[in-house]
Amino acid sequence: MANVTAAGAHVRPDRSAVPRRLTGNARQATRGCPPEPTHRATPHRSPTPGAPPGDEGSPGEPPNGGFRSPAVPTLVDPGPPGPGVPGRGRTVLRTVFHTDQVATAEERFAAWRECVSRGVVVTTQEPLPTGPERSAFRGVLRAGALGPVRVSAMEYRALVAKRTPRQIRELDPGWYQVGLILHGRQSIALDGPPTRLWPGDMVLYDTTQPFVARVPPALSTGSVVLQLPTGQLPWQRGRLRPLFGRRLPGDDPAVALLRRLLLDLIGPVAGGAGSGWGPSDAGRLGVLVTDLVTAVVERRLDPAEPPSPAGADVLRLRIGAHIERRLADPGLDPTSVAAAHHISVRYLHRIFQPSGGVATAIRALRLERCRRDLLDPALADTPVSSIGARWGFTRPSDFGRAFRAAYGLPPGAYRREALAARPVPVGAPGA
């Protein structure tokens, strides 16, 4: 299964699947693909042994209660690469490669493989069956970013893609990946028997394990792949590992909800007026997608085991520093904080639940700043309402009620009593 990422390494990646040289037209067609990897791979423990090859699946009805998507897009879009296809509405995805852009049939798979190796987690790919069918290969890749979440919509004919331990050692971004099957059939094998996937199904896996993905001969598959940095989900990798490679059935309510959103995002590829989403919506959509992926995973985990706090603690410190810097901004609220860190509001509330919630934390910090200013003799002539407004309380009545609830006195009375009880410094007038 193809998987878009922006990661890379200074070390030389495994080029066993990448053609050494493309001629003019094929090279031109790959110019829209992501650039070559440039950053060093992170240290990695020895990966699990190579996975067995996946099977081609067997004919029959999908085990989703007869699920058939009412909007099965045909992703092969002959339009040119660019931010959108004229007349098809706005979209957050753009076509980065299409085999129809390669004039020579013999070079189409080579060009596809080159582009996938730049914008996809490095794999060894071969068309199925080999031989003359190589020249008949067709594929299209559309990609975009929703904040830190990367989205790839693609279609490709029969092939096998293998991610090897060597490739993992050389180039491992360490991302979670969620694949959605739109049409056709596919199988994926990690460290066990292959999992067969049908239209509407999803599968969770990551870049740290070898895998073999296979599209049966004489078939093509349309899929959407999400990539999320590990910090986007509130669990450590070991907690999620039992779910990797397992089929997430399309009739699961959370899977169905996420699928509908993804189908809407790629709507322009299927023809019509487009979904209306544009680049300015990307950040908000990334938060929504992350929240829905979290909901899909939660339904499969043991509810008696809470998410690991390790990653949440680090994120909480980072969010706390952000709040401290933005206290004076009246627009600082849970929604803006979540958007700034590309997480869902739901996850934000979970992180701050031990301290009573993020809104409570923001209010407590603002009140403490106001209290400190009220005790400052240099600000004795500053109106109480101005001090409240200085720290994000736009309505004096709200400031007064919140301060009294926290400190037992209205802010004006608190200031008077505190300054009256303050010792007069030696040498001051009246001493």
Query: Torsions phi, psi of 180, nearest 5?
Result: -115, 130
- Sketch out the chain's domains with CATH numbers: 24-298 (2.60.120.10), 309-420 (1.10.10.60)
Which tokens sit at 102?
Answer: 């390669």
Place of tokens 């013999």: 106
Q: Choose among 288, 188, 296: nearest CA to 235.
A: 296
Q: What are the strands, taking DSSP E only, across 176-333?
A: 176-183, 186-189, 195-197, 202-206, 211-214, 220-228, 247-248
H runs (alpha helix) in 23-141? 24-29, 108-119
Query: Torsions phi, psi of 51, nearest 5?
Result: -80, 155
H runs (alpha helix) in 77-142? 108-119
Q: Per-residue confidence of the chain (431 residues) as pLDDT tens digits?
A: 544 333 333 333 344 444 445 656 555 666 656 554 433 333 333 333 333 333 333 444 455 554 444 333 333 333 333 333 333 345 577 888 888 888 777 788 888 877 777 766 778 888 876 555 556 788 898 888 887 888 888 888 889 999 899 988 887 777 899 999 999 999 999 988 999 999 999 999 998 899 999 998 877 889 999 988 877 787 878 889 999 999 999 999 999 999 999 988 886 443 334 456 767 777 778 888 988 998 899 888 865 555 555 456 667 777 888 888 888 899 999 999 988 888 888 888 888 887 778 898 899 889 988 988 898 888 889 999 999 999 999 999 999 999 999 888 999 999 888 877 655 444 433 43
Contact present, 345 and 384 (Cβ < 8 Å): no
Residues 415 and 322: their CA atoms lie apart, in Å, by: 29
Report the pLDDT value the prediction gives residue 26, as an integer from 0 to 100.
59
Contact present, 321 and 350 (Cβ < 8 Å): no
Query: Torsions phi, psi of 203, nearest 5?
Result: -145, 140
Report how far apart, in Å, the C-alpha atoms of 426 and of each of 159, 190, 423, 430, 431 are. Answer: 86, 77, 9, 9, 6
User: Is residue 140 helix, strand or coil?
Assistant: strand
Q: Model pTM greater than 0.75?
A: no
Report the pLDDT value the prediction gives residue 194, as an integer from 0 to 100.
95
Place of tokens 């899909």: 296
Residue 39 gets which letter from DSSP?
A: S
Q: Choose among 22, 46, 168, 163: nearest CA to 102.
A: 22
Ramachandran bin of 66, using left for φ above 0, alpha for ψ from -120 to 50, beta for the remaining angles: left
Which tokens sit at 405?
Answer: 């609830």
Q: Give the per-residue SS3 of 314-355.
A: HHHHHHHHHHHHCCCCCCCCHHHHHHHCCCCHHHHHHHCHHH
Report the pLDDT value the prediction gives residue 58, as an integer from 0 to 100.
40
Query: Torsions phi, psi of 97, nearest 5?
Result: -160, 145
Query: Which residues make beta-bridge pairs with 203?
Result: 179, 247
Q: Choose among 358, 349, 284: nearest CA to 324.
A: 358
Query: Which residues make beta-bridge pairs with 221?
Result: 156
Q: Could you give the strand order of the β-sheet that contains 195-197, starting from the edge strand earlier in sequence?
A: 124-127, 159-163, 211-214, 186-189, 195-197
Residues 179 and 225: their CA atoms lie apart, in Å, by: 4
